[in-house]
Homo-oligomer: A and B are copies of this chain.
């Protein structure tokens, strides 16, 4: 029944018979305080139910013990897996992660970034929603470390990504090997880099096979989730179903798969299908989904290590661009 936060470091100090400075020390550098004193202070903290005021600490310190993680879609298992990687690294170092969702919208992304800046996070991990990185450079110039996730940087920023051109090539080469001649590429907004790069790879595969670019029809939908996939399938059904469909991620592919099934189109007999990301659900789908696998957890883990390294030593830090290679996983949907 005690009333609000009347209990500050001062009350604790009084109760333990020490000065506020000493309490601060047991909170932040316990080793510098005599064992007996420390114990007394800790007991006072417990008895009073004292909770440190993070805002005051952050204000004083100039920065918080938190980093921001901005993803395109928290509902996408790909990003959940990335977040696991981030979390695992960060929790070892007693930092907090503020998870933000841009929903692929540059506007929401900007708002997220503003909140993170206001919170004075030490750094930001982000999968940008478009190619305009000026805001991120602004952040960096303000002293906030920035690492791009699943998006290669161009030199003045760290990044951890996967070769999306290679992935698109892998997927379409596979479909062509299987005999496809008329293909579709189901994708989210072409403002999203991954979507463009994967298409670039797809077209390269076409060229290498001696086929014209028009053998691959683009189907663009506004959101990269199952709903978007269903929408794409509708368009495809209306315009004539191709031999093979390459989807820019697995969520889209799952949506396509379901809508196709409802329309009586069989996968892979009538049309072959391949997704991207190899999320866990893909292998459990009605027709197990072929996909392009990426080292997702590693992406989060390594990005975070890079970020913390930059935070700890901003001057002596050299920006790195790390790029992984994706891998083809063939399952029933394109067998």
A residues touching B (Cβ–Cβ < 8 Å)?
Answer: 1-5, 49, 51-59, 62, 64, 74-75, 77, 80, 83-84, 87, 96, 98-99, 101, 114-115, 117-120, 138, 141-143, 226, 254, 257-258, 280-281, 283-288
Q: Are A56 and B59 also in contact (CB < 8 A) when A5-B142, A74-B74 are?
A: yes
Out of B54, B77, B83, B143, which one reaches A5, CB within 8 Å?
A: B143
CB-nearest residue of chain B relative to A144?
B4
List chain B residues, Cβ under 8 A from A96: 115
List chain B residues, Cβ under 8 A from A280: 226
* Cα–Cα distance between A49 and B114 once the two chains are bound (Å): 11
Most chain B Cβ neighbours within 10 Å, of A3, A4, A84: A4
**How many chain copies?**
2
- Do B119 and A54 touch across chains, with their CB atoms under 8 A apart? yes
- Do B120 and A55 touch across chains, with their CB atoms under 8 A apart? yes
- Do B286 and A258 touch across chains, with their CB atoms under 8 A apart? no
A13 to chain B, nearest CB (A): 18
A140 to chain B, nearest CB (A): 10
* Cα–Cα distance between A139 and B255 once the two chains are bound (Å): 42
- Do A141 and B1 touch across chains, with their CB atoms under 8 A apart? yes
Out of B53, B101, B114, which one reaches A87, CB within 8 Å?
A: B101
Out of B3, B54, B56, B114, which one reaches A143, CB within 8 Å?
A: B3
CB-nearest residue of chain B relative to A280?
B226
Out of B59, B99, B286, which one reaches A59, CB within 8 Å?
A: B59
* Cα–Cα distance between A258 and B281 once the two chains are bound (Å): 10
Could you show 19 A-B contacts with beta carbons less than 8 Å apart? A1-B141, A3-B143, A4-B143, A51-B117, A54-B115, A54-B118, A55-B119, A56-B59, A57-B118, A74-B99, A75-B77, A75-B80, A75-B84, A96-B115, A226-B280, A254-B284, A258-B283, A284-B286, A285-B285
- Do B74 and A80 touch across chains, with their CB atoms under 8 A apart? yes
A225 to chain B, nearest CB (A): 9
List chain B residues, Cβ under 8 A from A53: 59, 118, 120
A107 to chain B, nearest CB (A): 12
* Cα–Cα distance between A119 and B57 once the two chains are bound (Å): 10
List chain B residues, Cβ under 8 A from A99: 74, 99
A266 to chain B, nearest CB (A): 15
A89 to chain B, nearest CB (A): 15
* Cα–Cα distance between A141 and B58 once the two chains are bound (Å): 25
Q: Are A114 and B51 also in contact (CB < 8 A) when A59-B56, A280-B226 are?
A: yes
* Cα–Cα distance between A143 and B5 once the two chains are bound (Å): 8
A77 to chain B, nearest CB (A): 7
CB-nearest residue of chain B relative to A111?
B91
